[in-house]
């Protein structure tokens, strides 16, 4: 089945309907390229999505570890104070 839309029109339609969270990526794509290929834009969007998803996971884990470490120091300090009394 042949599409009635040109490559450029497909890219524009896709970029228009993206969420606001993709604004930075859209601006970068539009300013850094003279012509955009639809398949390349799809690949970039998928990479961007997975990178963004993985950053969120890493950030969540680091918050958990940091909180756990803080909690452990508090326990050690409290137990040393109890031993001194």
What pLDDT does residue 4 have?
78
User: What is the pLDDT tens value at each position of the chain, 85 positions in all?
Assistant: 566 788 888 988 988 888 888 888 888 888 877 788 899 999 989 998 888 888 766 555 555 455 455 555 666 666 666 666 5
What pLDDT does residue 30 have?
82
47: left (phi over 0), alpha (psi -120 to 50) or beta: alpha
CB of 8 closer than 8 Å to CB of 1: no
What pLDDT does residue 46 have?
92
CA angle centred on 15, ends 33 and 39, rounded to 5°: 65
């Amino acid at each position: 089945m042949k599409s009635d839309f040109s490559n450029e029109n497909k890219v524009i339609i896709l970029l228009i309907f993206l969420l606001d969270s993709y604004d930075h990526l859209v601006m970068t794509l539009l300013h850094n390229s003279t012509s955009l290929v639809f398949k390349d834009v799809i690949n970039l969007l998928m990479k961007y999505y997975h990178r963004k998803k993985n950053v969120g996971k890493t950030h969540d884990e680091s918050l958990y570890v940091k909180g756990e470490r803080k909690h452990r120091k508090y326990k050690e300090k409290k137990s040393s104070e109890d031993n001194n009394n």
